[in-house]
Structure 1
Amino acid sequence: MKILKFTGILIWICCFFSTSYTYGQGNPATADTSQSAFEFIKDDFIAASLDSLAGLKYFEGFECPTDETLKNVFGFTPGFVPVYADSVYYNRLRKLDAASPISLTYNQYVKDYIELYAMRKRGLTERVMGLAQIYFPMFEEHLDRFNMPLELKYLAIVESALNPVAKSRVGATGLWQFMYGTGKAYNLKVTSLVDDRRDPLKSTIAACEHMNDLYRMYGDWLLVLAAYNSGAGNVNKAIRRSGGKMDFWQIRPFLPLETRGYVPAFIAVNYVMSYAAEHNLRPVQPLFHHFEIDTVIVKDVLTFSQISNMLNIPVEEIEFLNPAYKSRIIPATRDNTYVLRLQKKNIAGFVNNEAQLYAYRSQAEIEKEQVLAMMKTVTQAEYHKVKKGESLGLIARKYQCSVNDLKKWNKLRSTNIQIGQRLIVRPESVQQVEYAQAKPKPAPAPKPTTQAEAATEKNISENLAAVAPADSAKPEASTPVRKENKYHRVARGETLGRIAGQYNTSIAELQRLNNLKGSNIQAGARLIVGTTELTESAGQAVADNYQKPKEKNTVFKYYTVQQGDTLWKIANQHEGVTVEDIKRLNNITNEKQLKPGQKIKVTVVS
């Protein structure tokens, strides 16, 4: 019995060390097969890039071609998924390897990714095959110009699945997945409106230059691919940790996890794209091919909506062909032009109507601009930097406002201020102005003048024709003339200096007109601020007009009530307007009747 137990223990120990030796000392290409299987089950970045095509608008409404549209050379039934033995994969890759300067090895890691592209993600692979008909001719042209292996075109499938707006979780962008810093090193500029990393042509040239630089470092294309993915620093560290080996499969265990699957995925894409028909894979046919695309130079700012409306091209098509423009705006100038890609059939329309395109605005855009121009008058805030010896009162007099105004605008609890402190002396304001124009009288009447002129009584004599009866004639030269005082109701916080500036007069003149000995005035006081010469008939007409503000031809200046507004605050914002005027014009008996968004009359324009 003891002998049997001892024998069992001995067998268990031998099995344990045998297993340890297999995983620790086996061939580097196949040693961590279980680890590879675990990595494969996890949805890595390569599978995620394929999935990004599922939402690409370019493919909306398109399905895979039927047997009638594409010849089925192997006679497969639709949906059939062929499966081949390892020996078949091995022999096919040997043929590809013999014709390429890149070492295309077959092993379990490569097989895992062949199954990913040819079996589990078949539908997305067929979409990639469709996009390849647009991008591969351009890739091959520039790879050939740089004297590089044409098989490197497949790297863009591993990187982005040929999605031109693909963006990784770490910020790599575009067909060739450039990081911001690497892209900048190869002259790929990024601004708020344009990202050259998403430009198919510019990024392809940059990718060729980058891979050429890496090849000069390593002299091995598989190491170049590893460095392209993880950076030369990580590859150099892996080489050191492997004892100086310069073979990808020998340094693979020392590379970042993502890069370990990167090269096998590249080899698998080479295989699947070369033997697509053998795997019953047929491309989703694109809307257009590479040879159907052309370019024009844009010399002025242009939006995709302008191009779409003028040339009758779907915005989605323009966006797909020009992915570098992030906000659908081409910020071109005569000194800084940009390239626009369109189908060849639309190029003539652009060239023939280029000037009109730059000038074109849709009706909706025109109306929006007009409304904004009419409804908003914006005044920027003005600041004053406190100097030595200045007080709040001195600053208030300088800018013709009150101390209370300065305290309110700057949220000050007291009059204490510090040297160098920045004070708001003119607050930012946005007023909404609207004119309610009634039907015109049979007799012609002049249009209202500017807001400032309409708000004061200085121009009453110029508008007599608008308020006089239709059959009234001009006053004769001998018509009696009388002078009439102009008044201003003092609002809380107003100063004599501020009122003087408002009516273009001086403090001394206001003191003379109102018999004031000092500059102290009380809120609610009625001050004479000037005089107006009127004929007797004109004076009567004006009086009649102001007594009847609701007659058909009356034009009012309106204000939209904002949150926190009071009648006093609204009156203070409009020249020559008092709280009583607003109450009378709007039949307001209680200030609590005001509601945000309500439009009220603030003065009579004509």
Structure 2
Amino acid sequence: MWLKRAPRYFPLFDREIEALGLPEDLKFLAVAESSLIENIHSRAGAAGLWQFMRHTGRRLGLRITSTIDERHDPIASTRCALNYLKFLKNKFGSWPLALAAYNCGEKRVSDAVSEQQTKNYHTLSLPSESERYLYRMAAIKLILSDPAAYGYKIDRRECYEPLPVDHISLNLKGEVSLVDFALQLGITYHEIKKLNPHLISKRLPKGRFNLTLPLGYKDKVAGVLKGLPRQTVKKSHYMVKRGDTLNKLSRRFNIPVIRLTRLNQLESSKIMIGQKLRLK
């Protein structure tokens, strides 16, 4: 699947890497992390093409709320990941250590360097996945650069080409119904959701964010937004009352059940009277 997905995402990666003056091979890190699946989640909670944990993404400037999760925005997450890698390179002084820190964390690599008195990635004792990380990226590069040499043959027509879309940046003063926005724009709700996996609720979020649209629709956005009412979500928490269920609360606050589950680290759909739930 790497071979099919790479043509869709590598042009974006190449542009952003070139803009920052970074090594072009950094694009293979995304393949190692996510296999180029936008909406992928790890067991540990990492998400998106560049597999950011929630707390790391927020620390680095990605918006992660009840309405938006920019870990799933290819543009925002790519810029965030590359800037973070640039920071790690400056901090540790070499790309191998920067990549290891991206994989297992800055503190773990800093502690290992301090304790073992070496900055040589190849002799440093790290978690096994991090010790193999550089070689995994190298193997990915070899295969994607010349798939036929490794027995992979794929018809170009089977590849995921870049989508014919426009990217715009919006800055809204209030939330807007995504269904109403799509209908007024003349496209389907389903199409907007498919193009914007970072929009995780039924509302366009308040504040600044990226929006991807089919070609030919971006010039209509300003006019459509002028005619749509803004919505607000005042509550950040809710106390569970008798008769409440996650499904009922999901409909009441317009928050997906899976989002409520993740926000509150619930292991099942069971909630208790008096339990305090996060809504954003």
Q: Secondary structure at the match of 1:250?
A: coil
Q: Who is 2:145 aligned against? A: 274
The structural deviation recorded for 1:159 is: 1.1
Q: Secondary structure at the match of 1:166?
A: coil
Match of 1:148 among 22, 34, 51: 22
- Write the distance in 2 (CA, Å) between the matches of 1:181 and 1:338: 19
In the alignment, does 2:96 pair up with 1:222? yes
1:390-449 CA deviation, whole Å, 9 max, x = no partner?
xxxxxxxxxxxxxxxxxxxxxxxxxxxxxxxxxxxxxxxxxxxxxxxxxxxxxxxxxxxx
- Contact 1:321/1:342 (8 A) holds in 2: yes
- Write the distance in 1 (CA, Å) between the matches of 2:51 and 2:64: 14
Q: Secondary structure at the match of 1:203?
A: helix
**Alpha-carbon spacing, 1:137–1:260, altered in 2? closer, same or farther (3 Å):** same
The structural deviation recorded for 1:276 is: 2.6
**Alpha-carbon spacing, 1:291–1:167, altered in 2? closer, same or farther (3 Å):** same
Amino acid at match of 2:33: E
Q: Who is 2:122 aligned against? A: 249
- Aligned-CA RMSD value: 2.7
Q: Who is 1:259 aligned against? A: 130
- Write the distance in 2 (CA, Å) between the matches of 1:168 and 1:149: 26
Q: Secondary structure at the match of 1:345?
A: coil
- Write the distance in 2 (CA, Å) between the matches of 1:338 and 1:235: 33
Q: Who is 1:342 aligned against? A: 213
- Write the distance in 2 (CA, Å) between the matches of 1:359 and 1:285: 41
The structural deviation recorded for 1:267 is: 1.0
In the alignment, does 2:36 pair up with 1:159? no
- In the superposition, the TM-score normalised over structure 2's length comes to 0.70
Q: Who is 1:200 aligned against? A: 74
Amino acid at match of 2:216: K
**Alpha-carbon spacing, 1:226–1:164, altered in 2? closer, same or farther (3 Å):** same
Match of 1:292 among 154, 165, 174: 165
The structural deviation recorded for 1:155 is: 0.8
Show the 5 A alignment for 1:31-42: none
Q: Who is 2:50 aligned against? A: 176
Q: Who is 1:233 aligned against? A: 107
**Alpha-carbon spacing, 1:338–1:218, altered in 2? closer, same or farther (3 Å):** closer
The structural deviation recorded for 1:149 is: 0.4
Q: Secondary structure at the match of 2:75?
A: helix
The structural deviation recorded for 1:337 is: 4.5
Q: Secondary structure at the match of 2:210?
A: strand
The structural deviation recorded for 1:237 is: 3.7
- Write the distance in 2 (CA, Å) between the matches of 1:260 and 1:281: 31
Amino acid at match of 1:185: R
- In the superposition, the TM-score normalised over structure 1's length comes to 0.34
- Runs of 5+ unmatched residues, structure 1: 1-123, 361-606
- Write the distance in 1 (CA, Å) between the matches of 2:212 and 2:165: 10
Q: Secondary structure at the match of 2:211?
A: strand
- Write the distance in 2 (CA, Å) between the matches of 1:230 and 1:354: 43
- Contact 2:167/2:210 (8 A) holds in 1: no
Runs (4+) of structure 1 moved beyond 6 Å? none
The structural deviation recorded for 1:351 is: 4.7
**Alpha-carbon spacing, 1:294–1:277, altered in 2? closer, same or farther (3 Å):** farther
1:163-210 CA deviation, whole Å, 9 max, x = no partner?
222221111122211122222221123222122222222222221221
Q: Secondary structure at the match of 2:110?
A: helix
- Contact 2:166/2:218 (8 A) holds in 1: no
- Write the distance in 2 (CA, Å) between the matches of 1:338 and 1:213: 23
- Write the distance in 2 (CA, Å) between the matches of 1:223 and 1:303: 45
- Write the distance in 1 (CA, Å) between the matches of 2:166 and 2:25: 23
- Write the distance in 1 (CA, Å) between the matches of 2:66 and 2:223: 30
- Contact 2:164/2:214 (8 A) holds in 1: no
- Write the distance in 2 (CA, Å) between the matches of 1:285 and 1:351: 34
The structural deviation recorded for 1:298 is: 5.9
Q: Secondary structure at the match of 1:249?
A: coil
- Runs of 5+ unmatched residues, structure 2: 231-280
Q: Rg: which structure is higher?
A: 1
In the alignment, does 2:62 pair up with 1:188? yes
- Write the distance in 1 (CA, Å) between the matches of 2:3 and 2:190: 21
Amino acid at match of 1:268: A
- Write the distance in 2 (CA, Å) between the matches of 1:151 and 1:173: 21
Amino acid at match of 2:53: M
Task: Say how many residue pairs are matched.
Answer: 226
- Write the distance in 1 (CA, Å) between the matches of 2:4 and 2:191: 17
Q: Secondary structure at the match of 1:255?
A: coil
The structural deviation recorded for 1:352 is: 5.2
